[in-house]
Chains A and B, each alone.
Chain A
Amino acid sequence: MNKLNIQPIAEERIKIDITDIPQGIQINMTGDIDMEDPSILLDPFFEKIHSGMIAQGLAEVVADFKGLNFLNSSGIKAVAKWIMKLTDLDEKTKYIIKILHNKDITWQVTSLPTLTFLVPGGVKIE
């Protein structure tokens, strides 16, 4: 188990793993997020990440999207909702999200960088 004690997700078409890194945690997404309502899965997951990061005063979440072949717009909304939570944080609780993207997956090249514009300074992409 990881330091936030969050269960990984292993559904038929999507897997999300969580591993510890020195400055915080890393989440790895693989598969496709194309269900009718991804918020059922993603909202509680990102909420746990968010509250765990704050509770433990960790500095960074690395969100590795490189294995995610497809993410529908409802899924993008769930990610945007998580990122927007960063706006409520003060100096003590604030953490950053570093997105890792795959240059060979077209939607990642076009859509993932736009997420860095939601909260200036809160999200980095590489």
Chain B
Amino acid sequence: MAVTENLGRDGYIELKFGPRWKYIACVRGFIQNFLAISIVDQAKADKIAMAASELLENAVKYASHDETHIVIRVSPETERIVISVENTSSKESIAQLKDVYDKIIEGDPFQMYVAQMKEAAVRSDGKSHLGLARIRYETGGDLSLKISGNTVNLSIVIE
């Protein structure tokens, strides 16, 4: 999937991320700085940096190969932002991702986030299944998932 297609007049940054936990905080800071000069709404910039950070955490935890691709696009007039993260993964992780995605995408973002929190509190497998629900609720954006073969692409559009 070409993540940079149809860019038009949008500004963008594109990073290839060799999944290492330590890089996440640094990339989050970088994205925050990039957005500080790209958009006016700082609360929105914070939410996007949080979302990117959660997506990168997932990439580090669940990608099967080193390379993860992250693109952040900014439409200058509307301040519409698109973040997309792409990686390859195992059948099991992809199936789990699809389950979580299908579960949270329908309901009200707030209700789903609280429901996932309650479930997370009693899980015993060490996972939280909270990241995607958090992103959807906190950013108020449109989350979408594309799967082709062993490649997953999670993107979020924030108006």
B137 and A110 contacting across the interface, CB-CB below 8 Å: yes
Residue B37, interface by CB 8 Å = no
Cα separation A76 to B131 with both chains bound (whole Å): 9
A72 and B54 in contact, given A36-B61, A77-B128, A111-B134 (Cβ under 8 angstroms):
yes
Interface size class of A (residues with CB under 8 A): 20 to 34
Of A37, A72, A73, most B-chain CB atoms within 10 Å: A73
CA of A107 to CA of B28 in the docked complex: distance in angstroms?
Answer: 14
Interface residues of A in 10-36 (CB under 8 A from B): 32, 34-36
A106, B134: Cα distance in complex, Å? 13
Interface size of B as a range = 20 to 34
List the A side residues contacting B117 at CB < 8 Å.
76-77, 80, 114-115, 118
Give the residues in chain A near B126, CB-CB below 8 Å: 37, 39
Is B52 in the interface zone, CB < 8 Å from A? no
Q: Does B25 contact A (CB under 8 A)?
A: yes
The reply to whether the CB of A74 lies closer than 8 angstroms to some CB of chain B is: yes
Distance from B130 Cβ to chain A, minimum over Cβ atoms (Å): 4
Chain B residue at smallest Cβ distance from A119: B118
Whether B121 contacts A80 by the Cβ 8 Å rule is: yes
Given contacts A73-B57, A80-B121, A106-B42, 15 further A-B contacts (CB under 8 A): A35-B21, A36-B21, A39-B126, A70-B25, A72-B57, A74-B57, A76-B120, A77-B121, A80-B120, A84-B122, A106-B43, A107-B138, A114-B117, A114-B137, A118-B114
Residues of B within 8 A of A (CB): 21, 24-25, 28, 42-43, 46-47, 50, 53-54, 57, 60-61, 110, 113-114, 117-118, 120-123, 126, 128, 130-131, 134, 137-138
